[in-house]
Structure formats: C-alpha cells, structure tokens
Structure 1
Amino acid sequence: MFYYLIRKLLFLIDPEKSHILTLKCLNSRYIQTLMNLFLKPIPSKPIKCMGLTFPNKIGLAAGMDKNGEYINFFSKLGFGFIELGTVTPLPQIGNSKPRMFRIISKEAIINKMGFNNLGIENLIYNIQKSKFKGIIGVNIGKNKHTSIENAINDYLICIEKIYCYTHYITINISSPNTKNLRNLQFGVLFNNLLKKIKIKQKEMHQKYSKYVPIAIKISPDLSKNEIIYISNQLIKFKIDAVIATNTTLDHSSIYKIKKNQMKGGLSGFPLQKKSNDVVSMLYKQLKKTIPIIGVGGINSLSSAKEKIKLGAELIQIYSGLIYHGPKLIRQIIKQL
C-alpha cells in the first residue's frame, strides 16, 4: 500500500527524471540501513543455468541500472541475479528527450533511450566497488556512430573488457532504438557475429581460465521462420543462452491511447503475449539444448509461472517492478 502511495507522486514527474530520482533516493545509506533492518532474507531456491548456480529464478532485466550505480540496492530486493547495461565501448548520451513514456492504464512503458550510458570502463569501476557477491550479467551493445558493418568490433571490445568482472554477458542486437541494430539478427551479419564472439569467448577462457557464458537477446517482432533460423544458428555456434525478449515496435495494443510523440520500444503488460509466443517457439526449436531467459510483461505471480511453463528457465522483470514495487519480486520468489 505504501509503495502505491509513493508511486502516485512519482508518476506526476517526467518518467526519466522520476526513474533517476527514485533510484538515487533508494540508494542512500539511510534507506540501505532501513532495508537491512526490516527486510527479511528470502530463502534460497537454487537453480543451475548456463553452468552457473542462481539463488532463484528471478532477475532484474537490463535497462534499470545501465551503469551499475545501484547494484547494492537491487541486491537487497531478493533478485537471483542482476543484469546491468546496456553498455557500449564509449560513453554516449542516447536519443533526444523526451524519450520515456508511461501508459499507466496498460501498465506499459515506451522508451527510445538509445543506449544512453557512461561507457564500459565506468561500469567496470562500479562493479568493482559494489559489495554484491551474487550473480551479475552485463548487457552490451554498439555505439550509435559505429556502422552496422563494424558493429561486431564494439561487441568484441566490450567482451574483452568486461570478461573478468561479470558472470555472464548478454549480446543486445534487438533494441529498436539504435538504427539498424536489429539487422544483426539476420543472415551473414548474424552468422559472423556469433562466430566471432565465440572465438573471442574461447580466447578469453584460455587467457583467464574462466568460462563466462554468453547470451543473445532477441526481438519479440520476429516471424516464425526468423525464430527457426535464429534457433538453428544458436545451436550451431553453441551459444550459452537466449533472452526473449526485448521491447516491441508493435503498438497496436495501445493505439487508441498512444500519443504521436510516444515512439520507441514498448514494454510492460502489452508485451506479455508477444514475449510468451517467442519463448514458446524457441522452446520447441531448441529442444532444451539452450536455456531460455524469459522477459516481457511479467506483472504477477501467474504471469511469472506462465513464462516458466512455456519454457523459460529463468525470468527477468523491469516494468513490473515499476508498477508494482519490490513486493512483487518477493511474492514471486517465495511462491514460485
């Protein structure tokens, strides 16, 4: 009840400003102390995935903490893992503002952020100074001004730099907010990307005697044939996991209330069915050879169960946390 009262006030502010303000307040020492006093530890329900042992199946999706500034706060909410980013080799400011919008009646968010972040070096610094000992994933992308033909180099740079500081790496080739990025999911570009990141992974494994799994994050706007193709390539190159899905450009579910300036990727409840359909198709194609991490539209215990029933071994939450608060995370973890 307390969270919903606070949410009413926060929702009066511009979404991006509200996001930053909330996280800065919650990350204060005072709030951290209160959380330590009043939040009871959640019993561990370990699950093995990608060769890693996760305390539970629920993770924080990328986008909430791009620069790793709030790791300690999110670690106290009970998440089994935290995915940071999307981060790029060089810092960038992202797309012009306003670039984040709420559709409260649909429990949805539209964003056209464009990988705004402080760069991979800054993220490494924040990971090193955090006290979190749990599982961290890092979601990486290409810089805006890197051509799509040279995009692979940006991913290789990030893999090399972050390899020793993360438990797994996510290759983000499905954000709709960076021009032509989604082209990396198809044909020669996709084939070359998978080939080169696996070569880099092997090289880093040998160099550091540490195997860091790599996941590919895909779009919800793929056709059945495209999902079949992607699945075959993931198996061929022995990718460690697939994350389904990113945000959607399909705004048909909110077209009656959407304003013209609300352009970008749609997440939250309206994404739930599209994301579930992709998870289901992937599960049929991959036949348990590669684990699926399900994300998109999880806003309740039942929606979390549904995602897992369809084939997801792990799940991630973003919009559901904004609309329902930390209580949702603990409820799902305890009852799943």
Structure 2
Amino acid sequence: MLYSILRPLLFQLEPETAHHVTLNAINTAFRFGLLKRPTINCQEQHVMGITFPNPVGLAAGLDKNGEYLDALAELGFGFLEIGTVTPRPQPGNPAPRIFRIPQARAIINRLGFNNHGVDRLIENVIHSNYSGVLGINIGKNYDTPIDKAIEDYRICLSKVYCYASYVTINISSPNTQNLRQLQAKDALDQLLSALKSEQLSLSQSHGKYTPLVVKIAPDLEKPDIATIAQLLVKHHIDGVIATNTTLSRQGIDHLSISQEAGGLSGAPLTEKATAIVAQLRHCLEDSIPIIGVGGIMSPQNAKEKIAAGASLVQVYSGLIYQGPSLISHVAQAICNNQTLSGK
C-alpha cells in the first residue's frame, strides 16, 4: 500500500536517481528498525547443496556492490545475489542508461557493469551482518579483450569464493561489448573448463565447496541452448540462471523508446524467459537445477517458471512496478503450490 503511494513520486525522478533514492530509503528504514520481515510459511528449499529459507531471490543488478545486504534481507528474500562485479572498478556506460516503459511494465538498461570493483564488494560483504544465502555475480571489465576474459573471471572467482554461497558466471549481459560471444561452444567450453578447475582448487584450499552457476541470455536459439546444456553437464556446473535481459523489442516495438539500446526486462520478457527455462529442463533432464528469472511481475508468473522447470526464482524489474510486497506474495504462492502438489 505504501509503495503504491510512493511509486508515482519515484517515477517523477530519473530512473537511476530513483534507484539510489529507493535503496537509501530502505537502508534508512532498516537502521531505524522500521522494516518488519514478512512472515512466509514455507518449507526450506534444498538446491545445489544449499538450504534456502524460501525460493525467491533478488536478481543481480539491484545491489551491484553489496552495500544494502542487511536492509534487503528484511524484505523477505530467500536469497540475495549481488553484482555483477568486475576485477577493477568501472563507471559503466554513459547516462542516461535506464529507461522505464510504464505502459508495458518494462525497463531498458544499458548500465554496462558499473561497479566499485571486486575488492570493495568483498569489504561490504565482510562489514555486513547478513548471514543468509549470498550469490555473487562476476563478469569481465569492459576493456578486457574477449580472448583474455577467462583471467578476469578467474580473478573474481578466487577473490569472492569464500564469501559466497554460490558464484554466478555472467556471460549474457548485452551491455558489455562481445560478452555474449562467451556463450558460443568453443569459448564456453574453455571458460567452464578453466573456472571448474579453479573452483576445485579453491575448494581444497578453503575447505569449502562453493557452487558455480552460469547465467544465460534469452535470445538463444534451441540448438544453442542444447549445446550450452551439454557443456554445463560436461563440466559439472552446479546450476544455471535463465535468463538475463533481452535484445528483442517484441511487445514494445510500436513505442519510440524501443529504439533505445540495451537489455529489455519486465513483462515483455515473461514468456520468452519461461520458454528458455522449459527448453533447458528438456535438455538437462533435471540433472542441473535452474533458477528462473525474467518478467516475474506476479505470483502467477513465478508459478509458471516453477512449472516450466525452475527450482528457484529471482525478481528485479517486478519490484520496481509492484513494490516489495511482490517478494512475499510470490514466495507464498510458490510454497502453497508446492504443498498442494506434495513437493
């Protein structure tokens, strides 16, 4: 109810300004004890060897530097994913770089991995009190040549490994030049081989196994999805996130704002992302868990992701249009459905 009152005011602000205002307001409310974690009646979810208190997580991109972990945890998330983080700090693409499309309940962004660097993110994690499930999403610096990208991912993985519950390899953002080339068969084979080797070495040195997850794009063709699935199985990757934002403008192509460059998220992505989840499930045959994300604007959208094959879901754009109550509503709907189905 409160967010429905505040949203028109926030939408008067430039989107990136509104983003920071909202996060700072949530953080201030948390510090003054004004946030009350919602009650969600749910059985724990066991995925990738991790116990999740509920199946709804925060997608990467909202808290890129891990600055708001304690406050965000009070909104009812079952897990948080922060990043995308790169080895070195970088400003990202020039502003304006976020565009709301209220009539379509959608967002276009071309942020470009703006972040304070992996070392700052780790400092923020260490200084937080958050003890829940934490995913850390890693990428490459914009000026690292694509043929040198493996080293950027290896640097980030080695640094965040002992602080993360799982680590996400982001090879699917449309806003870093050539990044999606890493989804091609040979490039992905080399990347996963190198990072799996690094993971196993780190697990021995830290005495802790941190799962590796790969985040893929929604713009892949069926043969590409089948190839990626084969490589995930070949390299014993622990999970896959489907999906990132889309370059498609289907559903908003009649609007002038559709000409803005960047990845599209929100309601126009719902069916596309769910279809990718279903295709992955068919290819993987339940051998690797799927985290469904993209266009979850309602509990029904989330239940469709679960029905398509996802074990967990993540939200982001839906929060901007529906507010924080979406988290508990989605979590409770999934959990109620699982209880009715006997899962």
CA distance in 2, matches of 1:73, 1:321: 15
CA distance in 1, matches of 2:312, 2:257: 34
* Deviation at residue 25 of structure 1 after TM alignment: 1.6
Structure 1 segment 310-325 matched on structure 2, within 5 A: 310-325=308-323
Aligned AA (2:53): P
Q: Percent identity of the aligned residues?
A: 50
Aligned AA (1:4): S
CA distance in 1, matches of 2:297, 2:45: 22
1:278 has 2:262 as partner:
no
Structure 1 runs not aligned, ≥5 long = none
Structure 1 segment 1-336 matched on structure 2, within 5 A: 1-28=1-28, 32-36=32-36, 39-259=37-257, 262-336=260-334
CA distance in 2, matches of 1:173, 1:203: 22
* Deviation at residue 252 of structure 1 after TM alignment: 2.4
CA distance in 1, matches of 2:260, 2:128: 35
- Equivalenced residue count is 334
Is the partner of 2:251 in helix, strand or coil? helix
Is the partner of 1:225 in helix, strand or coil? helix
Alpha carbons of structure 1 residues 277 and 260: separation in structure 2 relative to 1, 3 Å: closer
Is the partner of 1:139 in helix, strand or coil? strand
CA distance in 2, matches of 1:31, 1:206: 38
Q: Which deviates the most, 68-77 or 23-32?
A: 23-32
Is the partner of 1:89 in helix, strand or coil? coil
Structure 2 runs not aligned, ≥5 long = 335-343
Whether the 8 Å CA contact 1:185–1:230 is kept in 2: the answer is yes
Whether the 8 Å CA contact 1:140–1:170 is kept in 2: the answer is yes
Alpha carbons of structure 1 residues 277 and 32: separation in structure 2 relative to 1, 3 Å: farther
TM-score, normalised on structure 2?
Answer: 0.95
CA distance in 1, matches of 2:161, 2:185: 27
CA distance in 2, matches of 1:83, 1:210: 19
Whether the 8 Å CA contact 2:85–2:137 is kept in 1: the answer is yes
Alpha carbons of structure 1 residues 321 and 32: separation in structure 2 relative to 1, 3 Å: farther
* Deviation at residue 44 of structure 1 after TM alignment: 4.4
Alpha carbons of structure 1 residues 305 and 260: separation in structure 2 relative to 1, 3 Å: closer
Whether the 8 Å CA contact 2:38–2:328 is kept in 1: the answer is no
TM-score, normalised on structure 1?
Answer: 0.97
Whether the 8 Å CA contact 1:100–1:112 is kept in 2: the answer is yes
Alpha carbons of structure 1 residues 92 and 49: separation in structure 2 relative to 1, 3 Å: same
The residue that corresponds to 2:337 in the other structure is: none
